[in-house]
Amino acid sequence: MNNDGKAYERFVALLYQALLDAEKEIPEQKNVEVQRNKKIVDSCRIEREFDIYWEYELAGITYKTVIECKDYNSKISVEKIDALIGKIRDIPDLKPIFATKTGYQSGAESKAKHNKIDLLVVREQNDSDWRDVDGTPFVKKIHINGTMYMPACITDLQPLFDPDWVKENFNIDSDTPTTITISGMNDEIFIENEDTGERYSVYELARKLTPSKAEAYGEFVKEERFGRGWIVGPDFRYKIKGYDVHYLLYQPHKTSTVIDHTKELIGVVEYLQKGMKKKIFRSGIIRDHPLPVKRQ
């Protein structure tokens, strides 16, 4: 299938639209539109077509720019620069730019410099874009591994009531069954251990039961005993000598995420005469870097 260069023109237009959208030197200009296949009539009334065109007004002056795109596998020759010079000769006030993926012959560079034509290499990313001029690599990917530990899940809490205290405070000699009611949210019911001075809610108990690094998972039972203690809620306070708590420990949930910056880098524009390049990212971020060597 023949390469008509249209895909490359769209690629260059996409990158330059992103560059113009991020441009801070013309803040009063909004939505500068990059146009493709722009037709301009020259002073000889001949219609000329340019691959890419945009314009903007600053301080009452209109600035017009055209880009000639060539998707070639070899370096651009001086004849291609001559052709662009011929196209713009009879159109005043145009800023000409040439864009290719492979670079330029030395004669083309000299002719372009003499005629104030900017030479660009507009391309997709390669390995050189992920290291500094001194060879220091940039971060391409960030691997994030996460482990989420679940707190213990209490399935049953059985207080061990102090029998003497129960006899003193409940009528257990009557024919009516004795009912001791415990009701409340897990952050409203507290255990008070007077032996140690500890006081913690059932919610906090679940966290106390969660080991920093569990060696086993499943259902467990913990027996806690003390000489004098209480279980306290919104509308009750019962004396206890301890409790049995049944709980579950779940295996930790593991996640893995990769942030791949290479997928965010749309393309690169090299400004050969300035010795620098711009990396354009999908988010609109533009990064400037010096070119490692001058292209021959």
Structure confidence by residue, pLDDT tens digits, 130-167: 999 888 999 999 999 998 888 999 999 999 999 999 98
Do residues 284 and 18 make contact, with C-beta atoms less than 8 angstroms apart?
yes
Centroid of chain to Cα 252: 25
The span from the CA of 129 to the CA of 187, in Å, is 55
The gap from C-alpha 114 to its chain's centroid, in whole angstroms, comes to 44
CA angle 24, 28, 31 (to 5 degrees): 85
Tell me how far apart the alpha carbons of residues 274 and 120 are, in angstroms, rounded to a whole number: 10
Residue 126: count other Cβ atoms within 10 Å of its Cβ. 8
Mind listing the domains of the chain with CATH numbers? 6-140+261-290 (3.40.1350.10), 150-251 (no CATH)
Helix (H, G, I), strand (E, B) or coil at 10: helix
pTM of the model as a whole: 0.69
Cβ neighbours of residue 183 closer than 8 Å, sequence gap 6 or more: 233, 234, 235, 236
Greatest Cα pair distance in the chain: 120
Tens place of pLDDT for every residue, the chain, 296 residues?
567 899 999 999 999 999 998 886 555 556 789 999 999 999 999 999 999 999 988 888 889 999 999 999 999 999 999 999 999 999 999 999 999 999 999 999 999 999 999 999 999 999 999 999 888 999 999 999 998 888 999 999 999 999 999 988 887 665 666 778 899 999 999 999 999 999 999 999 999 999 887 788 999 999 999 999 999 999 999 999 999 999 999 998 999 999 999 999 999 999 999 999 999 999 999 999 999 765 44
User: What does the pLDDT look like over 251-278, one tens digit per residue?
Assistant: 989 999 999 999 999 999 999 999 999 9
- Given a contact cutoff of 8 angstroms between Cβ atoms, the answer to whether 125 and 262 are in contact is yes
| Cα(187)–Cα(181) distance, integer angstroms | 17
Beta-sheet strands, E only, within 151-275? 153-161, 190-193, 198-201, 218-233, 236-249, 253-260, 265-271
Reported residue count of the chain is: 296
What DSSP state is assigned to residue 83?
Answer: H
DSSP 45-109: S-EEEEEEEEEEEETTEEEEEEEEEE--SSPBPHHHHHHHHHHHTTSTTEEEEEEESS-B-HHHH
